[in-house]
Amino acid sequence: MRRITKLLTSAFCALFIIIPASAVLSQQSDTDIVSSFKKHLTDYVASYKTNRRDEVRETSGGWIRNYYDIDENYTVDLRKTDSLISPYVGTANFVFTMHATSFHKTKAEAEADNNFIRSQPLKHRHVYAYQDGAWVLTQREEYMAVLDEWFKCDKDGSCMGEGAL
């Protein structure tokens, strides 16, 4: 009887050591995930300082040249899922500003124009999934205030508001 009591006491003590230790490991893992998501977004925002996504494109009004910058004050949310493939999903809400030249009749004229005379804020929502140790963009949406609605961006990254100017 004494031996059974000793075994039960040892097992009970082991549970008090193992359970808190696994909780700390789980918390540390969550902390690492949060940090990695924040770093991913910080790197993404910083990328606009070196690559402002300058482009020339045709719109209904003619050819324009535009570029984007991004507000460094963005919001994030991160949650656990029950998925084995994507155990975490993160959402970030950004405000981009699209700067544009005047309209031109030709692509060459737009390419030569460095006078950005208009700007337009664009609200974006990006959804990322944590897969195989990396953050993968799974959805990108743009908010259209006139319609008070979010619209999915195309796979090539173009969104509705980009043609508004």
- The pTM for the full model equals 0.76
Q: Stretch 3-21: mean pLDDT, rounded?
A: 51
Residue 158 or residue 4, greater confidence: 158
User: Is the pLDDT assigned to residue 23 strictly greater than 70?
Assistant: no
Quote the mean pLDDT of the chain: 85
Any idea of the CA torsion for 152, 154, 158, 161, to the nearest 10 degrees? -30
Rounded Cα–Cα distance for residues 76 and 126 (Å): 10
pLDDT digits (tens, 9 = 90+) for 75-98: 999 999 999 999 999 999 999 999
